[in-house]
């Protein structure tokens, strides 16, 4: 009995002593999946585990047998899609060495409770190391942040709504030069000058008590370059794009208010085909689902009392005549521009962009003559009331040589 009591006391003493020793010698850092550093750290760890050069610098990586897959699917408008996979450390304990210090990474997932808005489980990552090495936490997180920012540097990031949050969609895209989107003479310059003037007058708005926001409406037939121009303009100004689908299931007035009031910094908000959403002030999908976003709620989100500031909204539509006057009044839409089908000067510019200097069998004089012939064809078709979209011309130029493109372009007009 005495030995039993002694062993019990010894066991308790060892437990208390080890706990006190851990508190004295160890330090832990917790990161939850609501924090941006959570994704940065997982991406950093996945990169380190799969990078032999990084492993050499770390000199002590232990490969984990507990992995999770993160899949990113990008759905394009033409129906095609692509998927990218990334293997990250799964739930459990993982050990690694960073700058000579050993660390334990414990990833935990709470499956019994979910985030109310997104439906995803709560997760935490806890890093533990010796107390003397605690300063390495800041260095590690800065390295993870820099790696994440480097992958987006010089690129355009597209965000989509996920519940009440904005999340990056797909991989960052290469910026597209504004000049690569050929619009009618003076249109691109007018929009670009207007938005630059707006961005330079923040204090002017504040001094006069005017809400600092700007709304743009680009309208015109399909394939005229509305969305392409917005993407190119965002890239030239080093802005991102937040795409908001008003027909998304589960989107309500409250969520819309929250999303428009919490847009990532330096981002355009893009709402495409607004005529399809509110042409009858009812938003119904093909399967009979009716959206919870009301027309009045949408208007209030744009410029109501609770609407956010410091934002730039782009609306696009193929049928401007279907839009309610209340939506396109000044204050909600400050600048509206027609992005039309290909005009003669646009066709020439696009033609020269494709073929000037790129036809080894033809001289520059031949290209000039072909371009002039194309202008005459487009002009005669316009006079006859027949038009062609810039997208159709671009697709035609991609498939054919310069001479054939001009000789067969008449089949494109409608």
The DSSP output letter for 250 is T
Query: DSSP states of 137-171 as a string?
Result: HHHHHHHHHHHHHHHHTTEE-EEEEETTEEEE-SS
**Alpha carbon distance 357, 123 (integer Å):** 56
**What pLDDT was estimated at residue 285?**
47
**Alpha carbon distance 49, 94 (integer Å):** 11
Q: Which sequence spans correspond to the domains of the chain?
A: 27-153, 173-338, 344-412
For 33-92, how does the pLDDT look when each residue is reduced to its tens digit (9 = 90+)?
Answer: 888 888 888 888 877 766 544 444 444 455 566 777 767 666 555 455 667 776 777 888
Element holding 11 (H helix, E strand): helix 2-25
**Alpha carbon distance 201, 178 (integer Å):** 23
Q: Which stretches of the chain drop beneath a pLDDT of 70?
A: 5-6, 9-10, 13-24, 49-65, 70, 72-82, 86, 111-120, 151-153, 278-291, 304-309, 357-365
The residue count for the chain? 414
Element holding 274 (H helix, E strand): helix 274-278
Selection from 280, 204, 290, 216 nearest residue 247 by Cα: 290
Q: Which residues of 284-322 are buried (b: 16+ CB within 10 A; e: fewer)?
A: eeeeeeebbbbbebbbbbbeeeebbeebbbbbbbbebee
**What pLDDT was estimated at residue 62?**
56
**246 Cβ neighbours under 8 A, 6+ residues apart:** 256, 271, 274, 277, 278, 283, 291, 293, 298
Helix (H/G/I), strand (E/B), else coil: 249: coil
List the 121-130 sheet strands across, edge first: 26-32, 121-130, 101-114, 92-98
CATH number of 173-338: 3.40.50.300
The DSSP output letter for 411 is G
The DSSP output letter for 320 is G
The whole-angstrom distance between residue 82's C-alpha and the CA centroid of its chain comes to 16
**Alpha carbon distance 26, 104 (integer Å):** 11
The DSSP output letter for 292 is B
pTM of the model: 0.70
The DSSP output letter for 262 is S
**What pLDDT was estimated at residue 339?**
96
**Alpha carbon distance 332, 324 (integer Å):** 12
**What pLDDT was estimated at residue 49?**
67
**CA distances to 34, 148, 252, 388 from 173, in Å:** 25, 14, 30, 28
Strand partners, 286: none
**400 Cβ neighbours under 8 A, 6+ residues apart:** 408
Reading the block at residue 378, the tokens are 């487009």
Q: Residue for token digits 């009440």?
A: 164
Q: Residue for token digits 């000789």?
A: 407
**What pLDDT was estimated at residue 63?**
59
Angle ∠(194,198,204) on CA atoms, nearest 5: 140
**What pLDDT was estimated at residue 284?**
47
Do 349 and 182 form a contact (C-beta atoms < 8 A)?
yes
**What pLDDT was estimated at residue 290?**
54
For 190-201, how does the pLDDT look when each residue is reduced to its tens digit (9 = 90+)?
Answer: 999 999 999 999
User: How many CB atoms are located within 10 Å of the residue 265 CB?
Assistant: 7
**Alpha carbon distance 327, 298 (integer Å):** 9
Helix (H/G/I), strand (E/B), else coil: 132: helix
For 88-98, how does the pLDDT look when each residue is reduced to its tens digit (9 = 90+)?
Answer: 778 888 888 88
Reading the block at residue 408, the tokens are 């067969």
């Amino acid at each position: 009995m005495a030995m039993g009591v002694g062993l019990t006391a010894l066991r308790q003493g060892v437990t208390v002593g080890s706990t006190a020793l851990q508190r004295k010698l160890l330090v832990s850092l917790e990161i939850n999946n609501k924090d941006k550093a959570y994704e940065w750290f997982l991406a950093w760890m996945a990169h380190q585990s799969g990078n032999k050069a990084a492993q050499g610098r770390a000199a002590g990586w232990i490969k984990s047998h507990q992995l999770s897959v993160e899949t990113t699917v990008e759905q394009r408008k033409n129906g095609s899609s692509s998927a990218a996979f990334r293997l990250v450390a799964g739930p459990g304990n993982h050990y690694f060495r960073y700058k000579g210090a050993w660390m334990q990474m414990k990833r935990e997932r709470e499956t019994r409770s979910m985030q109310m808005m997104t439906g995803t489980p709560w997760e935490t990552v806890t890093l533990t190391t010796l107390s003397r090495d605690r300063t390495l936490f800041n260095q590690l997180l800065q390295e993870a942040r820099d790696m994440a920012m480097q992958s987006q540097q010089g690129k355009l990031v597209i965000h989509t709504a996920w519940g009440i949050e904005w999340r990056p969609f797909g991989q960052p895209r290469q910026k597209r030069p504004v000049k690569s989107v050929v619009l009618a003479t003076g249109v691109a310059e007018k929009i670009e000058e207007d938005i630059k003037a707006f961005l330079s007058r923040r204090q002017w708005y504040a001094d006069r008590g005017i809400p600092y926001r700007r709304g743009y409406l680009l309208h015109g037939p399909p394939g005229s370059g509305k969305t392409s121009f917005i993407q190119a303009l965002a890239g030239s100004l080093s802005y991102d794009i937040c795409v908001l689908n008003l027909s998304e299931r589960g989107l309500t007035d409250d969520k819309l208010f929250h999303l428009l009031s919490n847009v990532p910094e330096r981002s355009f908000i893009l709402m495409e085909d607004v005529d399809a959403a509110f042409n009858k002030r009812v938003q119904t999908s093909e399967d009979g689902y009716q959206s919870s976003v009301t027309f009045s709620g949408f208007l209030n989100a744009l410029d109501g009392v609770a609407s956010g500031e410091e934002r730039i909204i782009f609306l696009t539509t193929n049928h401007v005549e279907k839009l309610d006057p209340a939506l396109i009044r000044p204050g909600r839409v400050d600048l509206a521009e027609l992005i039309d089908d290909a005009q003669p000067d646009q066709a020439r510019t696009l033609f020269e962009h494709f073929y000037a200097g790129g036809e080894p069998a033809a001289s520059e004089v031949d290209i000039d003559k072909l371009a002039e012939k194309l202008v005459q064809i487009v002009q005669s078709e316009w006079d006859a009331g027949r038009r062609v979209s810039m997208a159709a011309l671009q697709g035609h130029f991609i498939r054919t040589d310069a001479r054939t493109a001009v000789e067969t372009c008449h089949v494109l007009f409608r």
